[in-house]
Amino acid sequence: MNAGLLRRGALLIWTALVFAFIFAPIVSTIVFSFNADRFPSLPWGGFSLQWYEAIFADASVQRGLINSLIVAGATSVLATFLGFAAAYVDYRYRFFGKMAYTALVAMPPTVPVVILGVAMLTFEGRVGLSGTLTGVTVGHVVLAAPFAMALIRMRLADLDPGIERAAWNLGATPWATMTGVVMPFCLPAILASVFLTAAVSFDEFMIAWFVSGVNETLPVRVLAMLQGQVSPRINAIGAIVFIVSMTLVVVAQILIGRRLGRRSKEA
C-alpha cells in the first residue's frame, strides 16, 4: 500500500517535471516581458511595459507583424479551400491512385522545413516569387493545407454518405448539395481550419526566412533579433505572438469541441 502510494507520487512528480520543462520557456517568456530589468533573472526587477513600448515603436517589428498578418490571412483562406477540396474528394470519390492523391496533399509536414525552405527558394527564385509575400504565402499554403484536410476529413467522417445521395435523388445538383448540405455540415471544421492554418502560418519561420528576403515576417524578425544580444524585447514579441496564436487555436478548439459535444449527446 505504502509502496503503491510512493509509486503514484513518483509518477505524478515526474509528470509535473516533464510539464515544467515543456512550459517553463513559455511562461518565462511572458513573465519576463513585463520585467523592468534588462537581463531576465530572479529576483524580479519590477513591473514595466517598456519592452512593449519599445517594440511598438520599432518600425521593423511593425512591418513584420503586418506582413505576418497578411500572409497568415491569405494562407488560411487558400489552405482551407484546398484542404476542404482534398478532404471532400477523399470522402466522396473512389478512383485509381487515390492513395497517391491524398499522400501528395498530406506529405509536406513530414519534410523538414529547412529543406522545404531551400526548395522553395531555388524554385521561386526562378519564377520570380522569392522575396515577395506571395512567395511566403505559397510555401505556407503547401505546409498548412494538410492540417486543414485532416480537420475537415474528420468532420466528414460523421456525414452519412446516404444524405448526399438522397439530395441528388430528390433532384438537387451536385453544386446545390454541396452548398446546401455538405458545406453547412462542415462549417465548424472549416472555420476551425481557417484559424488553425492561420496559426500555423503565423508561427512558421523557416520557409519564411529563406523566401521572404527584405519582406520579413515577424518570426523572421525574431530570428534576426536572436542573433544579437539578450533583449527582453524578444520576450515581448514572443508574448504577443503567443496571445495571437493561442486565440486562434482556442477558437479552433472550441469549434471542434462543439462538434464533439453534439456528437456525444447524440450517442
Partner 1 sequence: MPDARSTQTRPLAAPVTSSARATRWRFAAFWGLPPLLWQFAFFVVPLGFLVAMTFWSVKSFRLTPDATLANWTFILNAGFFRNAYVYTFWLAGLTALLASVIAFPAAYTLAFRLKPATRRFLVFMLVVPFFTSYPVRIYSTQIFFSPQGIINAALHPFGLGPISVLNTPAGTVIGYLVLTLPLVVLLQTFALANVPRTLIEAAHNLGCGRLRTILTVIVPSARVGLIVAATFAFVLAFGDYVAPLYLGGSKPPTLSILIADQVKSGNHWPRASVVAVIMIATLIAVMTAMLALAYGRKGGKR
Residues of this chain, 11-50, that bind partner 1 according to CB under 8 A? 11-12, 14-15, 18-19, 21-26, 28-29, 32, 39-42
Tell me which of 38, 173, 184, 263 binds partner 1, using CB under 8 A.
Answer: 173
Tell me which of 92, 158, 159, 213 binds partner 1, using CB under 8 A.
Answer: 92
Least Å distance between CB 59 and partner 1? 20
* Helix boundaries (H) for 170-231: 174-177, 183-203, 206-211, 218-227
Least Å distance between CB 233 and partner 1? 11
Burial class of 57 by CB neighbour count within 10 A (0 to 12, 13 to 18, 19+): exposed
Question: Which residue do the cell numbers 455538405 mark?
Answer: 182
- Asked if 249 and 199 count as a contact pair (C-beta separation under 8 A), the reply is yes
Tell me which of 47, 59, 99, 110 binds partner 1, using CB under 8 A.
Answer: 110
The residues with which 47 forms a beta bridge, in sequence order, are: 35
Within 59-78, which residues bind partner 1 (CB under 8 A)?
A: none
Within 199-258, which residues bind partner 1 (CB under 8 A)?
A: 199, 203, 205-206, 210, 219, 222-223, 226, 230, 234-235, 237-238, 241-242, 245-246, 248-249, 253
Query: Going by C-beta distance under 8 Å and a sequence separation of 6 or more, which residues neighbour residue 170?
Result: none
Tell me which of 65, 72, 141, 189 binds partner 1, using CB under 8 A.
Answer: 141
Question: Which residue do the cell numbers 505559397 mark?
Answer: 138
